[in-house]
Amino acid sequence: MRGLGDLYLQQLKTGLATMLQYRGSLVIWLIGNVLEPLIYLVVWSTVSRSTGGTVGGYGARDFAAYYIVLMLVNQVTFSWVMYEFDYRIREGTFSADLLHPLHPIHADIAENLSSKAVSLPFMIAAAAGLSVVFHPVFRLSPLAAAAFVPALVLAFLVRFLVDWTVALAAFWTTRVSAINQIHYMAVLFFSGQIAPLAVLPRPLQVAANILPFRWTVGFPVELLLGRVTGPRILAGFAVQGAWLLAGALLVRYVWRASVKRYSAVGA
Amino acid sequence: MRLFRLLWVFLRVGVMGEAAYPANFLAHLIDSVLELATALAGLALIFAHTSTLAGWRPDELVALVGVYFLVGGVIGLVIQPGMEQLTESVRDGTLDFTLTKPEDAQLLVSVWRVEIWKVVDVGLGLVVLGIGLARLGARVGAAEAAAFAAALVAGGIIVYSFWLILATTAFWLVRVENILVIFQSVYEAGRWPVSIYPGWLRFALTFLVPVAFAITVPAQALAGRLTWPVLGGAALLAAVFFLAARLFWLAGIRHYSGASS
């Protein structure tokens, strides 16, 4: 365990140093992460205003609250490991990482966390700015706030494991952009990013409950906003737990099968 | 026109490069169809709850999605790959070789890479545009069509210049590969008419990152809502942007220190 702790600490340090080195890129990247939820916020607020009431139980200011929280949750849980893996395998830089005694997913998680540590203050500032512009209504309860924290941690882990498994496709095919695109769209629809799940047609809502994506973004957001209550909170945690287990197993077995296929330039 | 001669050469090279990966082409086709399906599903989702979005009827927004794909396809076909290659060349110093070529370097880097499968997006955009037009029917006459073509050309020049300015920052910032992320997000904002956005954002999308001129303005022309001053403004802005990009590019080249020095 000491080795693992050291690795995380060291990765966090080097990750922070790297992130702070390239501040220009960081700002550009943050603009993108703010703009996407902002677009859907504006679209859905416009829709709810033009209907003169609410859409799926959301008024204009509820949509503002939803998307501002979603922006932060998405920022915490998302990863870019699919895009990194494509490069690693194609360019053969993964060969050295494979010699490390620890599973490479740990280095990726630590790197992800260090970049989040740098970017989160900016995102919170952006959320504050958007709150001033769009007047969101938050109805926070202590229970929801308390349940939100473990839900967010689970969401991060589930999303990372699923993303990492998808990223392993790079071992099997050298051009993975179509797979990444399909994955991105699944996340868009089923995680609650294109619209809150309550706005979607019934069959899509059912699918979203089964697939992992809702549990990596939408669930913590709805939880904090008090839209998931009572026994449905516990049910949500149960599904998150099930996906955590499934994700861990997926990573374990897909990883083993994938590594056998590895053939780098120069290997 | 040297531009078109060069572009034609690089397009042929692009076809040859991609012809070795037929499965890849299919994957990209699936990719683009999925993206289009997402856009149209998004519209369906919205118009299940309302009949107009900020005064735009469903058919007009379908036409707007067509323009979005058409312009996005052209960007993805030639502008974006070239500019990405440019930032990479600045970082690893291989731009040296390009600068020594007799052809104008800006012209070269603008067309030297093509993602040939993006013609799928151009094609899909045209199809969707056609469907939107057919459903709009007789309301689109010759005047609207001419205004549309002019607005589209002006928008294309503005977007190209914007990309060149972004990519040219690589001469100072070095690691700017995330430019892709910012442009895609900002470009996505153009899938909706800019009039739905609050004032400050509408201003940003019109003048700072000018997707409004690339997508909303041509679509407005088709919907018959484009006034002549707006079209004139678009032409003027295209000229200003093009000149600014050229000057910035020249400054960047002067700042470039190369790999070996």
* Distance spanning both ends of chain B, measured CA to CA: 35
Query: Per the CB < 8 Å rule, is B52 touching A50?
Result: yes
Q: And the tokens for A32? A: 């993108």
CB B84 within 8 A of CB B113: yes
- The answer as to whether B260 is a domain residue is no
Among candidate residues A132, A194, A145, A168, the one with its CA nearest the CA of residue A261: A168
Query: Per the CB < 8 Å rule, is A39 touching B189?
Result: yes
Could you tell me what percent of chain B has a pLDDT over 90?
22
Interface of A with B in 57-116 (CB under 8 A): none
Among candidate residues A247, A250, A7, A244, the one with its CA nearest the CA of residue A110: A7
- The answer as to whether B58 is a domain residue is yes
Q: Which residues of A touch B186 (CB under 8 A)?
A: 31-32, 35
State residue A215's pLDDT score.
95
- The answer as to whether B174 is a domain residue is yes
Residue appearing with tokens 């600068």? B99
CA B162 to CA B169: how far, in whole Å? 11
User: Does the CB of A233 have a partner CB in chain B at under 8 Å?
Assistant: no
User: Among A56-65, A248-257, B131-140, which stretch is predicted with the lowest mean pLDDT?
Assistant: B131-140
Which residues have C-beta within 8 Å of that of residue A141, sequence separation ≥ 6? A226
Per DSSP, the three-state class of A13 is helix
Q: And the tokens for B30? A: 């699936």
- The answer as to whether A51 is a domain residue is yes
How far apart are the CA of B76 and the nearest CA of chain A, in angstroms?
Answer: 14
Q: What is the mean pLDDT of residues A39-54?
A: 88
Q: Quick: pLDDT tens for A113-168.
A: 888 888 888 899 999 999 999 999 888 888 889 999 999 999 999 999 999 999 88
Q: What is the mean pLDDT of residues A36-62?
A: 88
Q: Quick: pLDDT tens for B180-231.
A: 566 777 888 888 999 899 888 889 888 878 888 889 999 988 888 888 898 9
Among candidate residues B143, B13, B171, the one with its CA nearest the CA of residue B83: B171
CB B208 within 8 A of CB B86: no
Helix (H) or strand (E) holding B158: helix B142-168
Check pLDDT > 50 for residue B106. Answer: yes
Check pLDDT > 60 for residue B247. Answer: yes
Q: What is the mean pLDDT of residues B232-239?
A: 92
CA B156 to CA B67: how far, in whole Å? 11
Q: And the tokens for A108? A: 């990726």
- The answer as to whether A255 is a domain residue is yes
**pLDDT band with cut points at 50, 70 and 90 for residue B127:** very high
What DSSP line would sit under A137-199, residue for residue? -----HHHHHHHHHHHHHHHHHHHHHHHHHHGGGGT-S--HHHHHHHHHHHHHHTTSSS-GGG
CA B122 to CA B238: how far, in whole Å? 22
Query: Per the CB < 8 Å rule, is B49 touching A28?
Result: no
CB B122 within 8 A of CB B114: no
- The answer as to whether B135 is a domain residue is yes
CA A234 to CA A147: how far, in whole Å? 10
User: Does the CB of A24 have a partner CB in chain B at under 8 Å?
Assistant: yes
What DSSP line would sit under A76-135, residue for residue? HH---HHHHHHHHHHHTTHHHHHTSSS-HHHHHHHHHHHHHHHHHHHHHHHHHHHHHHH-
Q: Write down the mean pLDDT value for chain A.
A: 87
**pLDDT band with cut points at 50, 70 and 90 for residue A229:** confident
| From A31, A46, A185, residue closest to B34, measured CB to CB | A185
Number of structural domains in chain A: 1
In which domain, by residue range, is B237 found?
2-255
Q: What is the mean pLDDT of residues B18-37?
A: 80
- The answer as to whether B261 is a domain residue is no
Check pLDDT > 50 for residue A267. Answer: no
Among candidate residues B158, B84, B175, the one with its CA nearest the CA of residue A28: B175
Query: Per the CB < 8 Å rule, is A177 touching B188?
Result: no
CB A152 within 8 A of CB A76: yes
Query: Per the CB < 8 Å rule, is A31 touching B34?
Result: no
State residue B155's pLDDT score.
92
Query: Per the CB < 8 Å rule, is A35 touching B188?
Result: yes
Q: Write down the mean pLDDT value for chain B.
A: 85
- The answer as to whether A266 is a domain residue is no
CB A218 within 8 A of CB A192: yes
CB B24 within 8 A of CB B17: no
- The answer as to whether A109 is a domain residue is yes
Check pLDDT > 70 for residue B3. Answer: yes
Q: Considering only residues A154 and B31, tell me which one the structure prediction assigns the higher pLDDT.
A: A154
Closest residue on chain B to A56 (Cα): B49
Q: What is the mean pLDDT of residues A10-23?
A: 76
pTM passes above 0.80: yes
State residue B254's pLDDT score.
87
In which domain, by residue range, is A151 found?
2-261
Check pLDDT > 90 for residue A260. Answer: no
- Which ipTM value was assigned to this complex? 0.76
Could you tell me what percent of chain B has a pLDDT over 70?
95
Q: Which residues of A touch B162 (CB under 8 A)?
A: none
Q: How many CA atoms, within 13 angstroms, populate the side-chain half-sphere of residue A196?
A: 29
Query: Per the CB < 8 Å rule, is A199 touching B49?
Result: yes
